[in-house]
Amino acid sequence: MTSFLKSLIYGSVIMLLISVGVAAASLRTLSHKVIPGVSVNSLDLSGKSKPEATALLTNYLKAYGEQQIILINGNTRTSVTQKDLGFKFDEVKTVEMAYSVGRTGKLIERLKTIPITKIRGIALTPAYTLDTEKLNAFVEDLATNSANIGSNSSYLLNEQNQLVSVVGKEGDEIATTDLKNILITNLQNLNFSDIWVPLKPNVNVLSEQELNFLKPQAQGIIEKRITLSYLSRKYELTPMDKLNLLNPTKTASGILQIDFNSEHLQNLLTKIGKEVNVEAQDGELEIAKGRVTKFIPPRDGTQIDELKSAELIVSAMKESNTGEVVLPIIESKAKPLPQNELGILELVGEGSTQFQGSAAGRIHNIGLAASRVSGSIIPPGGVFSFNQSVGEITAKTGYDQAYIIQDRKTQLGTGGGVCQVSTTVYRAALKAGLDILERRPHAYRVGYYEPAGLDATVYGPYLDLKFKNNMEKHVLIWSYFDPYNSTLTFQMYGTNDGRMVELSNPMIKAGAPAPEPIYQEDSSLAPGVKKQVDFAVNGATALVTRRVTKEGQVLIDEKIASSYSPWQSIFLVGPED
C-alpha cells in the first residue's frame, strides 16, 4: 500500500470520526430540541424545544385557518375553507415528526442524518386529521348541484321504498376522487391557489326503457336484508345505503347490468371504520423514585380490511338470499410495557360502570375522583384505601353539588357521584383477585350500579373501600373516564402470577315492595314545579361468590352478601304561594 493511499484512508477515517463526533456533540447540545435544518413548509424549527416549536407552528398555521380556496367550474366559483372540508392541522404530531428527525433508526444512520440535514435542510409537510364524511359530503354536494354537468342514470326511492327511474344527462361530471386528492394535497402544502375542478366524460346514460328493464333486479337488492357484522357490532344496510351503491350500467358490447358504486362503497366502509379502526398504542412506563411518572397502557390496533370487505358486500348484494356479511378485521399488535422494577407489566383486572343520565355536576365529580385515584400504586402486601387515595371531598378540592344518599334520604351534597368511582374500583379489585378487606353496599339499589351486589359505597371517614395486594409485585390502578359514552373503567396492572378468578353473576332475591312516594318541599324550585330525584325500587338481597386459585391452591373462597332496603320515589316540589 502506497503512502499516498494510506494517507487518503487515514484522512477519510479522521474526517468520519470528526463528523461522528460533531453529530454526537450536536445531539448532546440539542438533547431536547429540533436539530438544525428542519422546517415545516417554510417555518424553520431549528434548535426549538417541543413547547417552543408547538407555539411557533400553531401561530404559523393559524394564519391559514380562514383562508379560502376557490373552486372554478366553468362560470361557477365556489369558496371553501379547511373547516368546510373537515381538515385540521395536527400541530403536536407535526412537532413530534420534526423532533424525531435524527433520532430514529440505527445510531450510525442518526449520526449521518444530523450533518446532512444541517447542510441540505429538510422541509416536512404538516400532519393533519381529516373528517372524511365532511369532505365526502362537500364534494358530493358540489357534484350534484353543479350547473351544466352531465349525470348518470340512476334510481330514486319513493315513500314506499319502490324504485323510480331517473334518466341521466350526457356531458361531463366532476371527477370526485381526483378533486378530493387535489384539495388534501394543496391544503397540506398550504397552497390556497384557485383549483380548476377536474371533470371526466359521463358515459353511463341509460334510457328510461333500459332502466325499467333493470329495475326488478335492482328492486330485489333494495328489499334484500343484508347485515354487516364486525367485532361485536352489527349494522343492517338501509334501503338508502343499498340505493347509493346501485349503479345501472351498459357495457361496451351493449349488455345491461347492475354494477356497484365503488366510491359510495368506500364511503360506507369509512363510516363503519370510525367505530372500528384504532391505531395500535405501544405501552410506555416511566418510573422515578418508586412512582409512575408516565403511563400509557398497550392497546392492540384494529382496522377493517376494506378491499376484502368491499368484495364480500358486493357478493352479498348479488346473491338471491339474505345474509350476514362478516367484515374481516386486520389486527396490529402493540408493544408491551417495558420491564421494570415494580413488576407493572400487564393487565390483571378490570371493572366498568355506566352513568348515562347523570347530571352535569355528578359527571364532573366522577371524572375528578377517578383522576385522583388513577395512578395509585399498591406495593406487595400493601392496603389500598379509597378514602385516602381520593382525598378530601369538598367544594374547596373541586367537587360540585350532586344528589347523594345520606341519613337514608336523597339530598344534594358535595361530591355526589364519587360512589360511581368506588364501585368501579371495587369491581376491578374483585376481578384481579385481590383481598377485599372493607366494603359496604348502598342502602338501596341504584340504577347506575346494577347489577346489585357489585357496588361499594363510601363516605369518609366512616365508610371506606379497602383491599390488599396479595400479589408478589406492585399493582398500578389506572382509570378511563369517557363522559361522551357515559362509561368509567378502572384497570389494574401488575404481573400475572397465574391465578384464576371465578366471579359469579349476582343471585338476586326480591324483598319488600317500595313504599309510597315522598314529596319534599324545595325552596329552590318555583311554586307548582315538581322534580323527581329518586325512583321507586323494591328491596332485595344479592349474593356473589368468588373463588381465586393459583397452581391448585385456593387463595380466596368467599360469599359476598348484600342487602338493599326498599326505596320510594322522591319528588321535590316548589313551595306553595
Structural domain spans, the chain: 17-67+87-129, 346-573
Contact 564, 541 (CB under 8 A): yes
Nearest to 563 by CA among 517, 511, 525, 527: 511
* 58-63 own/partner pairs: CB under 8 Å, 24+ apart: 58/91, 61/89, 61/91, 61/126
On the CB side of 416, CA atoms within 13 Å amount to: 19
Nearest to 242 by CA among 350, 327, 316: 316
| Pairwise CA distance, residues 524 & 96, whole Å | 52
Nearest to 100 by CA among 167, 151, 40, 146: 40
Tell me the average pLDDT across 223-248. 91
Bond into 451 cis (ω within 30): yes
Confidence of residue 227 (pLDDT cuts 50, 70, 90): very high
Report the Cα–Cα distance between both ends of the chain, in Å, rounded.
113
Q: Which regions of 231-367 does DSSP assign to beta strands (E)? A: 233-236, 246-250, 256-260, 284-288, 291-296, 301-304, 323-326, 329-332, 346-354
Confidence of residue 458 (pLDDT cuts 50, 70, 90): very high
- Angle (CA) 39 40 41, round 5°: 105
What pLDDT shows up at residue 145?
A: 78
- Give bridge partners of residue 375 from the DSSP assignment: none
| Pairwise CA distance, residues 361 & 359, whole Å | 6
- Cell representation of residue 546: 368468588
Task: List Cβ neighbours of 533 (8 Å cut-off, separation of 6 or more).
Answer: 403, 410, 570, 571, 572
- Angle (CA) 329 334 335, round 5°: 160
Task: List Cβ neighbours of 254 (8 Å cut-off, separation of 6 or more).
Answer: none
Percent share of the chain, pLDDT over 90: 56
pLDDT at 548 over 60: yes
pLDDT at 410 over 70: no
pLDDT at 402 over 80: no
| Pairwise CA distance, residues 376 & 389, whole Å | 7
Contact 567, 537 (CB under 8 A): yes
Lowest mean pLDDT among 464-473, 476-485, 530-539: 530-539
Tell me the average pLDDT across 343-348. 94
Q: What is the CA radius of gyration of the chain?
A: 32
pLDDT at 146 over 80: no
Task: Provide the H-helix boundaries in 395-477.
Answer: 418-432
Q: What share of the chain is helix, strand, coil (3-state, %, to 5)?
A: 30, 35, 35
Confidence of residue 374 (pLDDT cuts 50, 70, 90): very high
Nearest to 386 by CA among 490, 502, 497: 490
| Pairwise CA distance, residues 439 & 34, whole Å | 52
Lowest mean pLDDT among 190-204, 298-312, 326-340, 544-558: 190-204
What pLDDT shows up at residue 482?
A: 92
